[in-house]
Amino acid sequence: AAPDRLHGMRVLISAGPTYEDLDPVRYVGNRSSGKMGYSLAAAAARRGAQVVLVSGPVQLPTPPGVQRVDVRSAAQMREAVLAALPADIYIGAAAVADYTPRQVAQQKLKKTAGSQTLTLELVRTPDILAEVAAQEQVLKLVVGFAAETHDVEKYARGKLADKHLDLIVANQVGIAGGGFESDQNAATAYWNDGHRVFPGTAKTQLAEQLLDLIAERLDA
Ligand code: C5P
């Protein structure tokens, strides 16, 4: 595909973690840095795409030319993503919490005298990626990420099918030189009848290689 294949396309990207509040001072979060999603947003904008970046709480500057929408929780991320549709391409690079506290306490939770344990009740969050992939508004390509510690291909292909994605980018977490918080990543992308291996490289470089693949899959 030509390097400017994404020119003028509306590309919606989610990035970063979500924070699920427990009370006014505590939350359940995860170690996503947002670097992969931000690198994709920066690279897509450089290619002339109209990029909307829905971002959980991260310590990163907004890439030039990118429209950024800040959110905190999975529920807020879902609202912001659905409000930003339609788009030509959706890339779900956020590490969305799978569970959120059933209740948010209005006052700071206190230690209970005489009890050594505390049980939190969590409920499932909506799967934003699956919901986007099921939209009536036709997207040309829906791309997900899968961070796995084991059986990477099996789980990645399972998510590709279950969530009705066009492409899934899987990376092994819990190994040196990649994954959460790192500037580097190695990944394998899977689609219905193929895959491509991306050896370990800077996330900025991986973003370029992934956009090349996305451009190719648009024409497939
Ligand atoms: O199922 P799992 O969380 O591993 O799937 C990862 C993919 O699904 C990522 O692309 C992530 O952004 C997306 N996801 C989502 N909403 C959720 C959970 C995951 O969009 N509630």
Which atom of ligand 1 lies at the shortest distance from residue 144's CA? 10
Whether 115 is in a domain gets the answer: no
Give the closest residue (by CA) to ligand 1 atom 6. Answer: 146
Q: How far is 71 from 77, CA to CA, in rounded Å?
A: 6
DSSP element (H, E) containing 205: helix 203-218
- 112 CA from centroid of ligand 1 (Å): 35
Q: Is residue 171 annotated as a catalytic residue, yes or no? A: no
What is the reported pTM? 0.95
Give the closest residue (by CA) to ligand 1 atom 4. Answer: 146
Furthest-apart CA pair in the chain: how many Å? 67
Q: Are 15 and 34 in contact (CB under 8 A)?
A: yes
* Binding residue ranges: 98, 108, 126-129, 145, 159, 163
ipTM of the complex in this document: 0.96
Which atom of ligand 1 lies at the shortest distance from residue 148's CA? 4
Whether 114 is in a domain gets the answer: no
Cα radius of gyration (the chain): 18
Q: Which residues line ligand 1 (CB under 6 A)?
A: 14, 74, 92, 94, 96, 98, 125-129, 144-146, 159
Whether 22 is in a domain gets the answer: yes
Whether 108 is in a domain gets the answer: no
What DSSP character marks residue 174? S
Whether 214 is in a domain gets the answer: yes
Of 95, 130, 81, the residue nearest 18 (C-alpha): 95
What DSSP character marks residue 41? H
- Each residue of 38-65: b (16+ CB within 10 Å) or e? bbbbbbbbbbebbbbbbbbbbebeebee
- 111 CA from centroid of ligand 1 (Å): 33
Question: Given this model, what pLDDT does residue 152 score?
Answer: 93
Question: Given this model, what pLDDT does residue 176 score?
Answer: 65
User: Which residue in 30, 171, 185, 192 is the catalytic one?
Assistant: 30
Q: Which two tokens stand for residue 135?
A: 């939209």
pLDDT by position in tens, the chain (length 220) = 676 899 999 999 999 999 999 999 999 999 999 999 999 999 999 999 999 999 999 999 999 999 999 999 999 999 999 999 999 999 999 999 999 999 999 999 999 899 999 999 999 999 999 999 999 777 999 999 999 889 999 999 999 999 999 999 998 877 666 667 778 889 999 999 999 999 989 999 999 999 999 999 999 8
Whether 105 is in a domain gets the answer: no
- Where in the sequence is the domain holding 154, given as residue range(s)? 10-98+120-218
Q: Give the total number of structural domains in the chain.
A: 1
Whether 87 is in a domain gets the answer: yes
Question: Given this model, what pLDDT does residue 185 score?
Answer: 87
Residue located via tokens 């339609």: 86
Q: Domain with 173 in it: what CATH number?
A: 3.40.50.10300
- Each residue of 91-116: b (16+ CB within 10 Å) or e? bbbbbbbeebbeeeeeeeeeeeeeee
Question: Given this model, what pLDDT does residue 177 score?
Answer: 64
Which atom of ligand 1 lies at the shortest distance from residue 131's CA? 20
Whether 43 is in a domain gets the answer: yes
